[in-house]
């Protein structure tokens, strides 16, 4: 979802769809999850500020922040956090009421066969620790009883779509995806839900975790492939999505700390590819029969640029390059003396100190960190040079842009401003993003050619 | 009279044209040309260009052989340069307030 939010901010189109994220993570206190919610709130704040025109609402922008994100809480006019209902603060043993089974009960033997002691003693508030057998039992009830699922069923209308993103080698995603699909396709009383166009991206193993014997973790990444194989065998005859995207790596290239409490995993190229599947899905019609999709890169390089990624990734590269150029403008313009739009459009000190621009600065900082992680991870997604403002024609590796430095973009912003009447609207922040996008797109659209 | 006309035309042409050039074609080029320092550079160019052009034309038309003639021609060239600068300033004022440009509107009221 982080990569989806970043791509949406960069100008990737959702084809007019509003994205309503539902994050199913039983891990209640995960910092990364909180950061994701904060990122989404940040995005929504910026989007709302671009369409706000005093008493009226403007059409979404072309380019940056062009699509709306709405939480299911907002849709349902609920104040409480429906995400909270996904987690449970008890042990699995207690959840299945194992204590009620007598020692010679046949069901007790059955439970002992299916679940290890570790499984049974596992607190559900930290997720299913890579155990889909636990997730399968718990998630079904969690989904059915959750406020968000009721809200989803109430608000899902004809032509709405559902896209499920999950990993196949863990616990929550591997068990949650087929369960969720089953709940949706089985909604007999809600035909719009039952017949919705559904897509899913299933992420195959792409990272490893440090040896659990040294870290004391319950998760062993040595089992990822075995779990994947068994899950795939199960999916083969059960999945009901119209489009199923498979994304994965050839090997577990990156090894993270094995700490299920923190899960401080840096952004990975595979997550970006998985995110791009959503945008592909939203651009497609309902197929006559189920479609299995995957995509490859051109060259098996450790650090991917436009050439080694291949032509299928041009839109992603353009988006990332565009936002990093926006970042350059966001960083430099507040210090730019005598920029004419400070007079003509009010891009002055007050504008740069205003909540809207500050919100954009915060998002941009997060974007920069995200791209930095992507560009240094294994494998690295690093198609741009962004550190030399005086040699910007090499912004895209393996391609020359016509803009030699940032003054080219500033000039194009001025020219873009001349195309708009002062009374089109009174939203300076929207003008800023409009002019910046037009200026950047003028030079980077050649990436897509 | 015809010679004076040429001098007036030089003043008007260079004073106005250099201002137009600054506000339109020059500021359609990248390089942060909107910054006021470039406006002042154009102002200087206008002054010296008119000064030199006027003096050269005077020199060609009426070579200063009489005593004091050179001083008169220099003063005329200087006056012409000041008028041209004034015209550059007036054109800039009009442009800054009422006409489209990518330059910083230094003289905007």
Task: Give Cα A283 to chain centroid, integer Å.
Answer: 17
pLDDT per residue, tens digit, chain A (449 aa), is 899 999 999 999 999 899 998 887 666 667 777 888 889 999 999 999 998 887 888 888 899 999 999 988 787 765 444 454 455 566 767 776 766 777 777 777 777 777 777 776 766 665 666 666 666 666 777 777 777 888 888 888 888 899 998 888 776 767 778 888 888 888 888 888 888 899 999 888 877 667 666 766 666 666 777 777 777 888 778 888 889 898 888 777 777 766 666 566 788 888 899 999 999 999 999 888 888 888 888 888 888 888 888 888 999 999 999 999 999 999 999 999 899 999 888 899 999 999 999 999 999 999 999 999 999 988 889 999 887 777 788 888 888 888 989 999 999 999 999 888 766 788 889 999 999 999 999 999 998 88
A343/B contact by beta carbon, under 8 A: yes
Domain assignment present for residue B52? The answer is yes
* CB of A404 less than 8 A from some CB of B: yes
Structure tokens at A298: 């051109």
Give pLDDT, residue A175: 73
Its pTM stands at 0.85
pLDDT for res B25: 95
Euclidean distance between CA atoms A324 and A152, whole angstroms: 35
Contact B31 A407 (CB under 8 A): yes
Confidence at residue A108, expressed as pLDDT on a 0 to 100 scale = 75
Residue A218 token pair? 């319950």
Own/partner pairs, B36-44, CB within 8 angstroms, 24+ separation: B36/A338, B36/B104, B36/B106, B38/B103, B39/B92, B39/B103, B39/B104, B39/B106, B42/B18, B42/B88, B43/B85, B43/B88, B43/B89
Q: Which of A83, A196, A198 is nearest to A148 (CA)?
A: A83
Q: Is A171 in contact with A135 (CB distance < 8 Å)?
A: yes
Domain range annotation of chain A:
2-87+127-295, 313-448
User: Chain A residue closest to B29 (CA)?
Assistant: A411
Query: Under an 8 A CB cutoff, do A340 and B108 touch?
Result: no
pLDDT at position A215 is 64
B102 chain-A contacts, CB cut-off 8 A: 340, 411, 414-415, 418
Distance from CA of B66 to the nearest CA of A (A): 51
Q: Is B103 a domain residue?
A: no
Subunit contact A411:B101, Cβ cutoff 8 A: no
Contact B30 A340 (CB under 8 A): no
Distance between CA A305 and CA A230 in Å, rounded? Answer: 34
First to last CA, chain A: 28
The angle formed by the CA atoms of residues A332, A335 and A336, to the nearest 5 degrees, is 80
Instruction: List the domain range (segments joined by +) for residue B55.
Output: 2-13+36-98
Domain for residue B60, yes or no? Answer: yes
Residues of B in contact with A403 (CB under 8 A): 30
Q: Which helix (H) or strand (E) holds B37?
A: helix B36-61
Q: Report yes or no: A154 at the B interface, CB cutoff 8 Å.
A: no
* pLDDT value at residue A353: 93
Contacts of A391 (CB under 8 A, 6+ apart): A385, A404, A405
Task: Please state, in angstroms and as integers, the Cα–Cα distance from residue A85 to each residue in A20, A35, A146, A410, A422, following that order.
Answer: 17, 18, 6, 48, 48
User: CB–CB of B34 and A414 under 8 A?
Assistant: yes
Q: Tell me, yes or no, if A415 comes closer than 8 A to chain B by beta carbon.
A: yes
Q: Which of B28, B100, B104 sits opposite A338 (nearest CB)?
A: B104
Is B18 within the bounds of a domain?
Answer: no
- For the four alpha carbons of B32, B34, B36 and B40, in that order, the dihedral sign comes to positive
Residue A58 is encoded by which pair of tokens?
């403007």
CATH architecture of the domain with range A2-87+127-295: 3-Layer(aba) Sandwich (3.40)
State the pLDDT at residue A85. Answer: 47
Whether A421 has its CB under 8 Å from any CB of chain B: the answer is no
Question: Residue A272 is encoded by which pair of tokens?
Answer: 């970006």
Q: What is the pLDDT of residue A82?
A: 40
**Cβ partners under 8 Å of residue A163, min gap 6:** A198, A199, A200, A201, A277, A278, A281, A282
Under 8 Å CB-to-CB from A268, ≥6 apart: which residues? Answer: A206, A207, A254, A373, A374, A377
Does the beta carbon of A407 lie under 8 angstroms from any beta carbon of chain B? yes
More confident: B67 or A25:
B67
The pLDDT score that the predictor gives to residue A23 is 82
What three-state secondary structure class fits B31? coil
The Cβ of residue B56 has, within 10 Å, a number of other Cβ atoms equal to: 12
Q: Count how many domains chain B has.
A: 1
pLDDT of residue A80: 45
Contacts of B97 in chain A (CB under 8 A): none
Per-residue pLDDT, A217 = 65
Cβ-defined contact of B30 to A415 (cutoff 8 Å): no
* Cross-chain residue pair B32–A407, CB shorter than 8 Å: yes
Instruction: List the structure tokens of B34.
Output: 């909107």
Measured between CB atoms, which of B31, B36, B100 is closest to A338? B36
The 10s digit of each residue's pLDDT in B4-45 is 788 788 888 889 999 999 999 999 999 999 999 999 999 999
């Amino acid at each position: 979802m982080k990569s989806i939010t970043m791509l949406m901010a960069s100008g990737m189109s959702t084809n007019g769809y509003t994205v309503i994220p539902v994050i199913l993570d039983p891990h209640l206190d995960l910092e990364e999850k909180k950061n994701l919610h904060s990122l989404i709130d940040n995005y929504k704040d910026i989007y709302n500020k671009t369409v706000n025109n005093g008493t009226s609402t403007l059409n979404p922008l072309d380019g940056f922040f062009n699509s709306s994100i709405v939480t299911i809480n907002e849709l349902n006019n609920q104040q409480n956090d429906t995400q909270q209902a996904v987690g449970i603060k008890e042990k699995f043993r207690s959840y299945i009421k194992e204590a009620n089974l007598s020692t010679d009960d046949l069901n007790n033997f059955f439970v002992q066969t299916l679940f290890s002691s570790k499984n049974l003693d596992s607190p559900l508030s930290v997720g299913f620790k890579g155990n889909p057998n636990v997730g399968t039992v718990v998630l079904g009830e969690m989904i059915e009883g959750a406020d968000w699922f009721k809200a989803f069923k109430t608000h899902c209308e004809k032509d709405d779509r559902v896209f499920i993103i999950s990993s196949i080698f863990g616990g929550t995603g591997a068990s949650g995806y087929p369960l969720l699909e089953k709940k949706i396709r089985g909604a007999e009383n809600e035909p719009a839900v039952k017949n919705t166009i559904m897509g899913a991206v299933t992420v195959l193993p792409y990272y490893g975790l440090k040896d659990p014997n040294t870290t004391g973790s319950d998760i062993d990444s040595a089992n990822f492939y075995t779990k994947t194989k068994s899950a795939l065998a199960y999916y083969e005859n059960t999945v009901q999505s119209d489009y199923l995207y498979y994304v994965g790596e050839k090997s577990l290239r990156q090894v993270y700390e094995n700490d299920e409490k923190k899960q401080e995993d840096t952004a990975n190229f595979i997550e970006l590819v998985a995110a791009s599947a959503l945008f592909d899905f939203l651009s497609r019609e309902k197929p006559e029969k189920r479609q299995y999709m995957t995509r490859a890169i051109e060259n098996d390089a450790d650090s991917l640029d436009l050439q080694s990624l291949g032509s299928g990734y041009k839109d992603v590269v353009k988006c990332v390059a565009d936002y990093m150029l926006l970042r350059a403008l966001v960083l430099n313009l507040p210090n730019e003396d005598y920029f004419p739009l400070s007079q003509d459009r009010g891009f002055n000190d007050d504008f740069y100190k205003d909540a809207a621009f500050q919100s954009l600065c915060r998002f941009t900082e997060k974007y920069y960190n995200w791209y930095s992680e992507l560009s240094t991870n294994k494998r690295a997604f690093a198609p741009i040079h962004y550190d030399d403002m005086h040699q910007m024609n090499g912004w895209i590796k393996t391609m020359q842009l016509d803009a030699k430095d940032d003054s080219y973009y500033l000039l194009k912003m001025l020219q873009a401003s001349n195309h708009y009447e002062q009374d089109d609207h009174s939203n300076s922040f929207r003008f800023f993003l409009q002019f910046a996008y037009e200026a950047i797109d003028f030079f980077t659209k050649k990436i897509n050619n | 009279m015809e010679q004076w006309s040429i001098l007036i035309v030089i003043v008007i042409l260079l004073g106005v044209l250099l201002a137009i050039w600054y506000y339109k074609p020059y500021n359609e080029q990248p390089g942060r040309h909107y910054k006021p320092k470039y406006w002042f550079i154009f102002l200087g160019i206008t002054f010296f260009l008119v000064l030199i052009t006027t003096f050269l034309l005077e020199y060609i038309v009426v070579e200063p052989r009489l005593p004091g003639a050179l001083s008169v021609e220099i003063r005329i060239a200087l006056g012409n340069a000041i008028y041209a600068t004034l015209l550059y300033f007036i054109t800039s004022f009009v442009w800054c307030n009422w006409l489209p440009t990518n330059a910083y509107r230094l003289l905007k009221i």
